[in-house]
Amino acid sequence: MTPARLNRHAIWTIYRAEMARMRRTFWQSIATPVVTTVLYFVVFGGAIGSRIQHVGGVGYGAFIVPGLIMLTILTQSVSNASIGIYFPIFTKTIYEILAAPLSALEIVLAYVGAAATKSVVLALIILGTATFFAPLHILHPRWMVAFMLLTAITFSLFGFIIGIWAQNFEQLAIIPSLILTPLTFLGGAFYSIDMLPQPWRTLNLLNPVVYLVSGFRWSFFGTGEVGVRLSLAFTGVFMGICLAVVGWIFKTGYRLKP
């Protein structure tokens, strides 16, 4: 058996190339989400928020910050990771990755790591931008970072799976736009789910994003719709599922190795 030494050079090589790709598409990668988020702040925080005042004892402008950041992390992680792995499959340069002395773990670490890094960087930029629009006090900064990382990694794994599954650019775009964005909107990014009428409120408890946003919001304000343990447990379970699927992909060679 091969000694279990990580091919660090290779991980670093892929990671750096992925980060370079982000720099190459700077406007697409950084500017677009920031502009979109500023728009959300102006519309939801400024225009609408001025009529809502408080949600659960928190000013509306501040209230939507965790939701917005979550929205960014979710969509960016999925799209970064899916494009990151789809691109070499599409251009067939994946042959080089497959022929290199790399384990599945190393490939995943490099691609998912780069995608998660990008979305965390974006999340921090948006957090910085948010301070211009709303007074922010983060109650549990460590937990906030932990939630951020955990979500970014989990959804980058999810994006990695989508990137391998997708057979064309349409399929690549369909999951983020058709599933992720609606779930995030319904998941309480801009309101407390307690504000929803029944049966929507109960139904929404099946929406995974509710738990992510709630836990993240707790790290800011100390309150959330569902318990923080439940939020963590849910994220952990979803990460476990993604890891299992990635493991299966490499074991069977699904769409990577004929």
Binding site for other proteins (CB under 8 A): 1-2, 7-10, 12-14, 17, 20-21, 24, 88, 91-93, 95-103, 253, 257-258
| Least Å from the CB of residue 5 to other proteins | 9
Q: Which residue, 240 or 253, is less far from other proteins as judged by CB?
A: 253
Contacts 24+ apart (CB under 8 A), 12-15: 12/110, 13/110, 14/97, 14/107, 14/110, 14/111, 14/114, 15/110, 15/113, 15/114, 15/117
Cα–Cα distance between 224 and 129 in angstroms, integer? Answer: 23
Q: Which residue, 81 or 175, is less far from other proteins as judged by CB?
A: 81
| Least Å from the CB of residue 31 to other proteins | 19
Cα–Cα distance between 15 and 114 in angstroms, integer? Answer: 5
| Least Å from the CB of residue 85 to other proteins | 13
Q: Which residue, 247 or 253, is less far from other proteins as judged by CB?
A: 253
| Least Å from the CB of residue 163 to other proteins | 16
Q: Which residue, 105 or 241, is less far from other proteins as judged by CB?
A: 105
| Least Å from the CB of residue 14 to other proteins | 7
The backbone torsions φ and ψ at residue 257, rounded to the nearest 5 degrees and listed phi first, read -120, 120
Q: Which residue, 32 or 252, is less far from other proteins as judged by CB?
A: 252
| Least Å from the CB of residue 15 to other proteins | 10
If you search the block for the tokens 């650019």, which residue do you land on? Answer: 169
Q: Which residue, 106 or 225, is less far from other proteins as judged by CB?
A: 106
DSSP 59-127: EHHHHHHHHHHHHHHHHHHHHHHHHHHHHHHHHTTHHHHHHSS--HHHHHHHHHHHHHHHHHHHHHHHH
